[in-house]
A and B are shown apart, each in its own frame.
Chain A
Amino acid sequence: MRRRILTLAAVAAGALALTACGGGGGSAGEGMDSKGDITIWYSNNEAEIEWGKQMVEAWNADHPDEQIKAQEIPAGKSSEEVIGAAITAGNAPCLVFNTSPAAVPGFQKQGGLVNLSDFEDGDSYITERSGDIAEQYRSEDGGFYQFPWKSNPVMIFYNKALFQQAGLDPENPKLSTYDEFLETARTISQSGVAPFAINPAPTSEFFQSWFDFYPLYAAQTGGTQLVEDGAATFNSEDGATVADFWRTLYDEGLAGREQYQGDAFADAYAAMAIVGPWAISVYEDVDWGAVPVPTENGTDPAETWTFSDAKNVGMFSACENKGTAWDVLKFATSEDQDGKWLESTGQMPLRQNLTETYPDYFSANAAYEQFGDQASRTVEVPNVQNSVEIWQTFRDGYSKSVIFGEEDVSAFLQDAADKIDSLASGS
């Protein structure tokens, strides 16, 4: 009898498994004109919540039949994982104002995203607002499955007080070329003002390369993405130069190989950091300055590129009232709301001619002006399939070779490029 019960259980479980594999009709392109109430999620960052609440109140006051119900992204390991689970469960909201570009190809493959180009004015609205930089967010089929919303162009933050203590010029720090940067870092280290000159997270999460290798690679190459035309670009002289620079920092103990619990820059554990303007509110107790990321031979700040650290808006196929969602999306990214966003958060709307559009803000907040200018020269993560796996592959090799020095840089670049070429081609 025991055997029979087990057999019955196995058959029932198998049947359940097989029925779970069925799929129905698509819904991504349905209800594009439908109007009614919608739900949106926004980030749980305090400043972003403040902006989100006023935006929702402003919309709801004028649209009694198309109300927005808003909430913070549910707590989870990361926004991307929560959104991915919501797509699978079929309960994703209409809009998420915190969609990582790296996750978009995966969400698109899941059938979870609406192609915004399918709206009559979808393409034109996006490209008119963001200009040429919008092209980085276009998917391989030519559609926009994400709305380019805001960026945090990363730069080198430095602690003026620590620089002063180390005998460095805090107003004109020498951080433009690799040689200057290394010399400055050595001076900081030798003076003992901080345990490390710089301390980007040395951990192995796929996204950590966005805050060490990638900004400098973007600067060194004048705006080249990690993958272009379906192939890795970094197995080159520029890629090796950037990797060698970081390896020198680790080998000489100028950058830390250990994970720091907290914010190394805010805690004066490191004298420099690579981060975007979102962190300025975190550094309110630090007398900081910011300069563009270095290049091998130094680049004019007006021509220096960096990583965007952007977050965009995704419209999800589970949304029933996509017409309202599109209207809300345009309202939330209007010139007026972008201005309020800038005021509330200090993060840069992905809008062309940003500094000219909000001259009063930038003249009143001089510290942000360089970020506004830098926002026009940012590189995004490549919008390719297997995006996250590509970054994880890169990070694993980088960790082994550059951070821990257990493999030649050239071998790492070759090996990672081979694997990433294969992943980018869909293998």
Chain B
Amino acid sequence: MTTTVAGPAGRTGKNDPARPGPPAREQGRGRRRRGILGENPIGVLLSAPYIAFIALVFAYPIVFAVWMSFHDYFFAAPGAQVDRPFVGFENYVAVLSDPKVWQSFYNVGVFLVINVPLTVVISILLATALNRVVHAKTFFRVSYYVPYVTASVAVVAVWMFLFAKNGLINQILGPLAPNPSWLVNSALAMPTIAFFVTWKGMGFYILLYLAALQNIPKELYESVSMDGGGRVRQFFSVTVPGVRPATLLVVLLSTITGANLFTEPYLLTGGGGPNGASATPVLLIYQKGIQQGNPDVAAAIGVMLIIMVLALAAIQRKFVGGEES
């Protein structure tokens, strides 16, 4: 007996009319019309300013940074005769053999492990609570948003006061206070910074979640309620899946913020101390590129940072969910 795997007749052929895309005859005409500007030359022309903007503001610096990272590059006065030879992976070897660089990436890892989950959990909880607030809604939303729009330099002194050796937190903790204190403790400096950044950025992420919550149909909550589900069940069965795209955005944005961390550790711990425990890759980029006149090495760190963020984004997309959710 012969078994035949039945399939829709003719569905595999190139000229199958059911195949997605324009009919073969139209495709042929499209190919004939397509010039250097493609099928829609006016569309290309209209988008040209945007493409130029992207090329100048985003693509150019990235391509230039990659170019710098493979050359012995330094900033020079216009007209100065300088030699900038190709050095291959020399800058990357210098970066990868520098323990400070590894430590800075480790520090960022510590930061992200604390900051990202904390940001997601607290933001979604507060947004859900705020969404149910009836009175003084604006007051609460603005209260959470104020730290986000306030410059770090303006609020960092308050945290230094709170977490200083004789600060309020240690006075409350009494004998339980850590020694050395928070910001000069190698193990606690980065977590303290992570808490600061979480608090500071919370308002923005709450707004993202609030916007996402508006799109969840109320019928879903009613349905769970009719099935006997309480607030907790509603939260996990409706709210959490309903705001999944927002969660992906929050995770991505907080990861990018963490990877670009500079101001807070610089201000809170005075340039990467204690003992480099709060140094970040961007701080090293600043030191190497601006202070020490080695933009080539700084560019190599920058390229590595971009690769790290892209890799993290890909992982997060896989686990948190992408467009299909």
Contact = CB atoms under 8 A, between A and B. Distances in A.
Given A202-B270, A400-B276, A12 B186 contact: no
A75 interface: no
A318 B76 CA distance: 12
Contacts of B294: 389
Contact of B275 (A16, A89, A386, A400): A400
A24 B79 contact: yes
B160 A257 contact: no
B44 interface: yes
A257 B180 contact: yes
Nearest to A91: B78
B199 interface: no
A358 interface: no
B55 A9 contact: yes
B77 A13 contact: no
B59 A13 contact: yes
B276 A9 contact: no
Given A23-B79, A109-B293, A318-B77, A404 B67 contact: no
B272 interface: yes
B55 A12 contact: yes
Contacts of A92: 77
Interface in B47-71: 47, 51, 54-56, 59-60, 62-64, 67, 71
A201 B55 CA distance: 44
A202 B270 CA distance: 8
Interface stretch (A56-64, A203-211, A293-301): A203-211
Contacts of A4: 38
Contact of B63 (A17, A318, A406): A17
Contacts of B160: 259, 261
B74 A109 contact: yes
Q: On chain B, which size bracket covers the interface?
A: 35 or more
A17 B67 contact: yes
Contact of A14 (B63, B82, B166): B63
B16 interface: no
Contacts of A14: 63, 67
Of the candidates B59, B60, B75, B77, the one having the most CB atoms from chain A within 10 angstroms of its own CB is B77
A366 interface: no
B271 A204 contact: yes
B87 interface: no
Interface string B149-183: 00000000100100011100000000000001101
Chain B residues touching A, majority SS: loop
A392 B292 contact: yes
B290 interface: yes
B251 to A, nearest CB: 26
B39 interface: yes
Contact of B77 (A110, A195, A261): A110
B100 interface: yes
Contacts of B63: 10, 13-14, 16-17
A231 interface: no
A204 B75 contact: no
Interface stretch (A80-88, A143-151, A180-188, A277-285): A80-88
B274 interface: yes
Contacts of B44: 1, 5
A388 B286 CA distance: 13
A81 B293 contact: no
Contacts of B71: 21
Given A26-B81, A404-B184, A406-B186, A9 B54 contact: yes
Contact of A261 (B55, B59, B157, B269): B157
A275 B303 CA distance: 41
A392 B291 contact: yes
A39 B81 CA distance: 25
B55 A110 contact: no
A175 B23 CA distance: 94
Contacts of B75: 84, 87-88, 110
Nearest to A400: B275
A364 interface: no
Given A258-B165, A399-B273, A406-B275, A206 B51 contact: no
Contacts of A201: 270
A382 interface: no
Contacts of A204: 270-273, 276, 279
A112 interface: yes
A410 interface: no
A52 interface: no
A169 B159 CA distance: 39
Contacts of A403: 273-275
B186 A404 contact: yes
B273 A203 contact: yes
25 contacts: A14-B63, A16-B60, A17-B63, A20-B64, A21-B84, A23-B81, A26-B81, A84-B75, A90-B77, A109-B76, A109-B293, A110-B74, A112-B80, A195-B166, A201-B270, A202-B270, A203-B269, A206-B287, A258-B183, A318-B77, A389-B292, A396-B100, A404-B184, A404-B274, A404-B275
